[in-house]
Amino acid sequence: MSKRRPYVRPMAGWWRKNPFFVEYMIHEGTALFVAAYALILLTGLVYLSRGEAAWNVWLEGLKNPWYIAFHWLTLAAMCYHTYTWFKIMPRTMPPVVVGGKRLPDFAITGSGLAVAATASLAMLGLVWGMAR
Amino acid sequence: MKRTLKRSNAPIFWALFGAGGMLSALLGPILVFITGLAVPLAMLLPADTMSYANMLAFAQNIIGKGFIFAIISLFLWHAAHRIFHSLHDIGIHAGIVAKLICYGGAMVATLITAYTLLAIGF
């Protein structure tokens, strides 16, 4: 082992100094909410497999104010994920050329958001129709 | 020159990340709204939307099963990949242990989801 102790530049909080990186950390952070929500659903699925009494315990649990508050927060994070996912899409997908011209970024982001809005409404309608 | 190049496993994780990211971007907000807010707060949707009978029928239906499996597993593969690649940014070494925890966690959850969906029956 070397006895030399080279200077290591401290990195703690580096991203807080630049708004670009703050935004980056927030949109990466939405993954925590996506994971938490998936785990909530998985818990529900396990309770469902254990019969009606167990399922009702889980369903009642969702009415807990802490759960409600958490779901509001998750909703905000999910919406932000949707927005950033399509905002970044012009850079994550191969360039689309229409009539010899590259499709502008706002067209890709805009159509992505439009598809998301349509899919959400369709989903809500489907659930409403199935439950009625 | 190397004769046999070792194939990277990155495209698999990236594809799962992309699929989960797309699915959660399209349906994440509305699903959170339905299961986490509209049903518990009894707004907009019928009160028995997520009753045991309804949800059991949904989970026993082959399309419902596929939907539940895709949502839970792909959301987790998306999150696992994103969290794994953000570890370095918050000063945690993204080595083999971190990789095993992130992707291993998603794998275990995927297997539990599949097992539970099969246990619920058809």
What's the pLDDT tens digit per position in B64-121? 999 999 999 999 999 999 999 999 888 888 889 999 999 999 999 999 999 999 999 8
* ipTM of predicted assembly, 2 dp: 0.93
- Fold assignment, A15-131: 3 helical TM bundles of succinate and fumarate reductases (1.20.1300)
In this structure, are residues B60 and A120 in contact, taking their beta carbons and an 8 Å threshold?
no
What's the pLDDT tens digit per position in A86-95? 999 998 888 8
Q: Cα(B7)–Cα(A58) distance, rounded to whole angstroms?
A: 44
Scanning B46-75 for CB atoms below 8 A from A yields: 46, 48-50, 52, 54-56, 58-59, 68, 71-72, 75
Q: What is the pLDDT of residue A2?
A: 62
Confidence of residue A79 (pLDDT cuts 50, 70, 90): very high
Count Cβ neighbours within 10 Å for each residue of B31-44 and write b for 16 or more, e otherwise.
Answer: bbbbbbbbbbeeee
Instruction: Give Cβ neighbours of residue A120 (< 8 Å, ≥ 6 apart).
Output: B26, B27, B29, B30
Average pLDDT over chain A reads 92
Gap from B87 CA to chain A (nearest CA, Å): 10
Q: Which residues in chain A have Cβ-Cβ distances shorter than 8 Å to B57?
A: none
B117 touches chain A (CB under 8 A): yes
What's the pLDDT tens digit per position in B14-35? 999 999 999 999 999 999 999 9
Grouping H, G, I as helix, E, B as strand and the rest as coil, residue A43 is helix
Q: What is the pLDDT of residue A122?
A: 96
- Report H helices in chain A: 19-49, 52-61, 65-92, 105-131
Q: Is A41's CB within 8 Å of B68's CB?
A: yes
In chain A, where the domains are located: 15-131
Stated pTM of the model = 0.91
Which tokens is B58 given? Answer: 């949904």
- Fold assignment, B14-120: 3 helical TM bundles of succinate and fumarate reductases (1.20.1300)
Q: Can you list the positions of beta strands (E) in B30-118? A: none
A102 strand-pairing partners: A97
